Amino acid sequence: MEQQSKIYVAGHRGMVGSAIVRRLQQDGFNEIITRTSAELDLRDQSATAAFFKEERPDYVFLAAAKVGGIIANNTYRADFIYENMMIQSNVIHHAYLNNVKKLMFLGSSCIYPKLAPQPLKEDYLLTGLLEPTNEPYAIAKIAGIKMCDAYRAQYGCNFVSVMPTNLYGPNDNYDLNNSHVLPALLRKFHEANQHNVEEVVVWGTGTPMREFLHADDMADACFYLMQHYNEEGLINIGVGEDISIKDLALLIKKITGYEGRLVFDTTKPDGTPRKLMDVTKLQNLGWKAKIGLEEGITSVYNTVKKQGILTVF
């Protein structure tokens, strides 16, 4: 990429897309094309076609998606598969039609089989059954990977797929009905402090293991891979270390200064037992995460407290 290249970041207002925009701007890339979902509905094929024909981006970061936590994924199963399939199909196809030099498709670690060996290597894709609660979302993301590969094979498109682990950072979602575990816990502990609540309830048993990557690290990896990676299939983006939900809750308890007790609601689902990324491929290419978990969560918490984000609910 050159600084004068036109770069379209799809989903620029989300946590992932906004981090990619910040990373591009940091290195002086100012020809960044963005559209809000109100300005451009990527589910609409004709609207997407008109946008690509008009703007003619050189590079595309496809970070637009319908996302949510375990309850949202399981409740709105049709929405998750339909909307994600439409968004990615339209963007990938029209990137091809308009001679985009390179496209990066961002997926999710939920593409891997529920009981895949740990850590998750890229070649474990499609070797077993998916986690049922987010199967529609995972299938959409797998289709996106295979679509990039198909356009590469048939048309020679330089389309690559990256699979970030669980992310957190600026512009995260703190709605308890459809947020992920880390922001949900941040909000729960913050509210417990505000209202002097004696206990905080954590969903599940606390035993599942999860890996967490700061969105700024993820964006740095995407920026690096856009310039140094060109292969079919996919590449994991992660830190290569995980933590139990119980230990995560204890860490957030410490960061927020909450002094009450933890209660685990075992009637709520745990989801996949473990999702640790194998990041050997990424590290062999020369990239490694820099932001530690406690440092990252502390920074995020201080920012959202200052912005008053956790008090709007």
236 is in an annotated binding site: no
Give the domain CATH number at 194: 3.90.25.10
Q: How far is residue 230 from each of residues 29, 100, 200, measured CA to CA in Å?
A: 21, 14, 46
153 and 25 in a single domain? The answer is yes
Is 257 within any annotated ligand binding site?
A: no
Q: Is residue 173 in a domain?
A: no
Active site residues: 137
Same domain as 195, residue 252? yes
Instruction: Give the tokens for residue 247.
Output: 């230990």
Q: Where are the alpha helices (DSSP H) in the chain?
A: 15-26, 45-55, 70-75, 77-97, 135-155, 181-194, 215-228, 245-256, 280-284, 293-307
Q: What is the mean pLDDT of the chain?
A: 95
The answer as to whether 52 is a domain residue is yes
Within this chain, do residues 75 and 191 fall inside the same structural domain, yes or no?
Answer: no
Whether residue 203 sits in one domain with residue 113: no
What does the CA dihedral 204, 207, 208, 213 come to, rounded to 10 degrees?
110
**Three-class SS state of 61:** strand
Q: Confirm or deny that 146 is annotated as ligand binding.
A: no
Q: Is 248 annotated as a binding residue?
A: no
- 131 and 194 together in one domain: no
Note the pLDDT of residue 312.
55
The answer to whether residue 51 sits within a structural domain is yes
Tell whether 190 and 134 lie within a shared domain: no
Quick check: is 285 in a domain? no
Is 165 assigned a ligand-binding role in the annotation? Answer: yes
Residues of the chain whose pLDDT is less than 70?
312-313
Give the count of domains, the chain: 2
Q: What is the pLDDT of residues 186-239, one digit of tens each?
A: 999 999 999 999 999 998 999 999 999 999 999 999 999 999 999 999 999 999
Is 40 within any annotated ligand binding site?
no
Residues 27 and 136 in one domain: yes
- Inside any domain, residue 176: no
Range of the domain at 307: 181-209+242-275+292-311
Q: pTM of the full predicted structure?
A: 0.93
The type of residue at 119 is P
* Residue 41 is assigned to a structural domain of this protein: yes
Q: Please indicate, yes or no, if residue 282 is contained in any of the structural domains.
A: no
